[in-house]
Amino acid sequence: MYRYELHLHTMETSRCGHVRAADQVRTYHGLGYQGLCVTDHLHREYLSLMDCHDDWKACMDRYLYGYRLARKEGEQLGMDIIFGVELRFPENESDYLIFGIDENWLYQHPFITEMDHQSFFDRFKDEVLIIHAHPYRNNDTVFYDCVHGLEVANCNPRHDSRNELALALAKANPHLFRTVGSDAHRKGDEGRSAILTEVRIPDSYALKDIITSGAYTLWCPEYEYILKECEAISHV
Ligand SMILES: [Zn+2]
Ligand SMILES: [Zn+2]
């Protein structure tokens, strides 16, 4: 089985990240992971700190820095470094993991950071995979009809992500895909969760296919009870 992290930040791009991209990759390699998806934060506030103003191309050149460093290190080690984004809209503090995209897609869709969840879903739902990260961490109302899936266990140790509420939402909506993520920002966050697959995941498009086909299992020892209950959902 191959092991993949689906939620990870780099210090070079995410303001809240404390670990260099290359160090993240090396640590995950040491833990036996075959790969990881870099999901650095993308939203108005972080872009405003990047000093790229209204030049979307310049912003993306800057934004992609962490991912590109991770990729470079991954190539040395034979790791699959997958591209993803943790997107937030100005409307509130909900975060969405976007899979099934590449660097070019980002360049071609300027200022998606200025949209809202409803218009983003309406426009891109057939094109990309939208997973609600830690749905209940920052809010009580989750617009689950505008996502394809839920992160049922977010394993970041410094936040109360209220995963049990995410589980309840997943149970009530069995059609939503389910993922887990370590949400690794600092040393010690890494390797708390994974998806396990029979085949390798070379890129973000393959990741989208794996999730939508259901060809993976969730792994997260800390939230074993949540995963057990998720298993039961899929057998309904
Ligand atoms: Zn963060
Ligand atoms: Zn995150």
Q: What are phi and psi of 75, to 5 degrees?
A: -65, -40
pLDDT at residue 53, as a whole number: 83
pLDDT at residue 139, as a whole number: 87
> In the 8-state DSSP scheme, what is residue 4?
E
pLDDT at residue 217, as a whole number: 96
pLDDT at residue 235, as a whole number: 61
92 CA → ligand 1 middle, Å? 15
39 CA → ligand 2 middle, Å? 7
Fold exhibited by the domain 2-234: TIM Barrel (3.20.20)
Q: What is the C-alpha to C-alpha distance for residues 177 and 10, in angstroms, rounded to an integer?
A: 26
182 CA → ligand 2 middle, Å? 8
Residue located via tokens 């809240």: 16
Q: What is the C-alpha to C-alpha distance for residues 27 and 191, in angstroms, rounded to an integer?
A: 9
Asked whether 2 and 198 are in contact (CB, 8 A), the reply is yes
* 3-class secondary-structure state, position 210: helix
Global pTM reads 0.97
* pLDDT of the chain, 236 residues: tens digit per residue: 999 999 999 999 999 999 999 999 999 999 999 999 999 999 999 999 988 888 999 999 999 999 999 999 999 999 999 999 999 999 999 999 999 999 999 999 999 999 999 999 999 999 999 999 999 998 889 999 999 999 999 999 999 999 999 999 999 999 999 999 999 999 999 999 999 999 999 999 999 999 999 999 999 999 999 999 998 986 65
Helices 56-63 and 65-77: crossing angle in degrees, nearest 10, is 40
9 CA → ligand 1 middle, Å? 7
- Note the ligand closest to the C-alpha atom of 183: 2
Task: Please give the C-alpha separations between residue 175 and each of 51, 70, 145, 147, in angstroms, as whole numbers.
Answer: 41, 33, 11, 11
39 CA → ligand 1 middle, Å? 10
232 CA → ligand 1 middle, Å? 31
Q: What does the domain layout of the chain look like in residue ranges?
A: 2-234
Which residues have CB under 8 Å from 110's CB, separation 6+?
Answer: 56
9 CA → ligand 2 middle, Å? 6
Residue located via tokens 């209220």: 162
- Note the ligand closest to the C-alpha atom of 46: 1
Q: What is the C-alpha to C-alpha distance for residues 136 and 168, in angstroms, rounded to an integer?
A: 11
236 CA → ligand 2 middle, Å? 31
Asked whether 217 and 20 are in contact (CB, 8 A), the reply is no
- Note the ligand closest to the C-alpha atom of 18: 1
